[in-house]
Amino acid sequence: MVGGRRFRPGEGFGRQLDEHEIRDEPPGDEPAEPAAGGLVDSAIYIRGHRFASPAGLAETYRCLQEQDEAMAWIGLYRPDIDQITSLAREFRLHDLAVEDAINAHQRPKLERYGHTLFVVLRAARYDDVREEVEFSELHLFIGPGFVVTVRHGEAPDLAAVRRRMEADAQMLEQGPQAVLYAILDQVVDGYAPVVAGLENDIDEIETQVFGGDPNASRRIYGLSREVIQFQRAARPLLNVLDALAAGAGSYATDEELRRYLRDVTDHLTQVVERVDGFRHLLQNILTVNATLVSQQQNEEMRSLTAASYTQNEELKKVSSWAAILFAPTLIGTVYGMNFVHMPELQWHFGYLFALLLMLLVCGTLYLIFKRRGWL
């Protein structure tokens, strides 16, 4: 970190100007959530101290030209094309970098255009209320004597970075490279709450899975997408930091800043490794959930099959007894018609014959159904 956490006063960052050499200006606040797009904060720094706070880009250009060894730090939030064009004309920014800054939706990367460095960062923020990860994009133009930040989202909190830098003049005196590394540190540090939030979500999903929650699959899928997006934001940043470290010698980067850069790289490596672990863990959880769902479905099918078998057995018994009882009913119905010319009506043993016939038919049907296992 900056502002006393990783850089301490008196570690060889250069001479600090006397108070009468710097014109006192109130530090500007760069709101994390400006109401509208455009210029958020613009400041001129001389040897680590805020010298002026121009109200517009034109005044910033004029102050920068009038002061030797000055650095301009311009913060923009979703600027319009005219503002980007003005900056490109003043600082001779490359057309491809300007086009990327206007269109946004870029992957984290680092491009060198002569003496100008163009860096794209993807910041992340965890929303505790919605339990979702929000991603935003930040573009930086770093050149001799100027830093331009273009935010296309609410994160990171560049106001906090500016306050920490202004509180540590020796750090800020290192110039645009120090600002770049401080912003990188802010972005990487912002990943820590996101990792914690994702870890908590995974713990909740494990409880849902083993609790038999039917909505677990949907949440696993949604969280997997967030983890993949987080990977796309964090992993390419390792290449950016490696490229900065590789070019540190060529651009005479201060040794303390190099140690600072390595520390940021270490933190980012830990984040990437944990996020990779989250992705593998979610894949395993999804597999386990599919297995549990399959087992539950098999149990339900087994229960339905058993219930169906029981119903069939009961239906066989009911049908068998219905058939057995139907036989005497049919015989009794026939002989109960009372027709005059009907066999056995006048026979002395007719009644006994009808009863024996009923018993014979019922007994035969009973034996048949019993042999078949229906009774």
Encode pLDDT of 288-329 as tens digits: 777 776 766 677 777 777 778 778 878 878 888 887 777 777
Q: Is residue 304 part of a domain?
A: no
**pLDDT at residue 22 tops 50:** no
The percent of residues above 90 in pLDDT, for the chain, comes to 8
Selected residue with higher pLDDT from 29 and 240:
240
Q: What is the dihedral of CA 34, 229, 264, 37, to 10 degrees?
A: -20
**In the prediction, which pLDDT does 140 show?**
92
Residue 37 pLDDT exceeds 90 = no
Instruction: Give yes or no: residues 281 and 320 share one domain.
Output: no
Residue 338, pLDDT above cutoff 80: no
Instruction: Return the higher-pLDDT residue of 224 and 32.
Output: 224
Say how far apart CA 271 and CA 279 lie, in whole Å: 12
Please report the pLDDT score of residue 4 as a whole number. 34
Average pLDDT, rounded, for the chain: 78
From 78-92, 162-176, 177-191, 328-342, the region with the lowest mean pLDDT: 328-342
Same domain flag for 107 and 73: yes
**206 in a structural domain:** yes
255 and 349 inside one domain: no
Q: How far apart are CA 228 and CA 231, in angstroms?
A: 5
Evaluate whether residue 2 is within a structural domain. Answer: no
Query: 142 and 195 share a domain?
Result: yes
Is 14 domain-assigned?
Answer: no
Say yes or no to pLDDT of 3 above 50: no
* CATH code of the domain containing 96: 3.30.460.20
State how far the Cα of 339 lies from the Cα of 355, in Å rounded to an integer: 19
The SS3 assignment for 149 reads strand
Establish if 8 belongs to a structural domain.
no
What pLDDT shows up at residue 251?
A: 54
Residue 221 — φ and ψ, nearest 5°? -65, -45
Q: Is the pLDDT at 16 greater than 50, yes or no?
A: no
Residue 95 has pLDDT above 60, yes or no: yes
Q: Are 216 and 287 in contact (CB under 8 A)?
A: no
Model pLDDT, residue 8: 33
**Tokens encoding 275:** 């996020």
Instruction: Say whether both 173 and 288 belong to one domain.
Output: yes
307 is a domain residue: no
CB 260 within 8 A of CB 185: yes
Tokens of 253: 């980067």
Domain span holding position 339: 313-371
Q: Average pLDDT of 249-276?
A: 80
Q: What percent of the chain has pLDDT over 70?
A: 84
Q: 333 and 188 in one domain?
A: no
Judgement on whether residues 218 and 340 belong to the same structural domain of the protein: no
User: How sure is the predictor about 254, in pLDDT bands with cuts at 50, 70 and 90?
Assistant: low
Asked if 221 and 329 sit in the same domain, the reply is: no
Residue 308, in any domain of the structure: no
Helix ranges restricted to H, 119-215: 158-167, 169-172, 176-210
What is the tally of structural domains in the chain?
2
User: How far is the C-alpha of 73 from the C-alpha of 63, rounded, in Å?
Assistant: 12
Q: Hey, what long-range contacts does 289-294 have (CB within 8 A, 24 or more apart)?
A: 289/209, 289/216, 289/217, 289/220, 290/217, 292/209, 292/210, 292/212, 293/217
144 and 263 both lie in a single domain = yes
> 29 falls in which pLDDT band (50, 70, 90)?
very low
pLDDT at 28 over 70: no
Say yes or no: 84 and 204 in one domain: yes
**Signed CA dihedral, 312, 317, 323, 326: sign only:** negative
pLDDT at 221: 82
Verify that 192 and 150 share a domain, yes or no. Answer: yes
Residue pointed to by tokens 């760069």: 30
Q: Is residue 87 part of a domain?
A: yes
Q: What are 96-153's pLDDT values in tens digits?
A: 888 888 887 888 889 888 888 899 999 988 888 888 888 889 999 998 889 999 988 8
**Among 231, 326, 209, 210, residue whose Cα is nearest residue 275:** 231
- Out of 260, 292, 324, pick the residue that ends a domain: 292
194 plus 269 within the same structural domain: yes
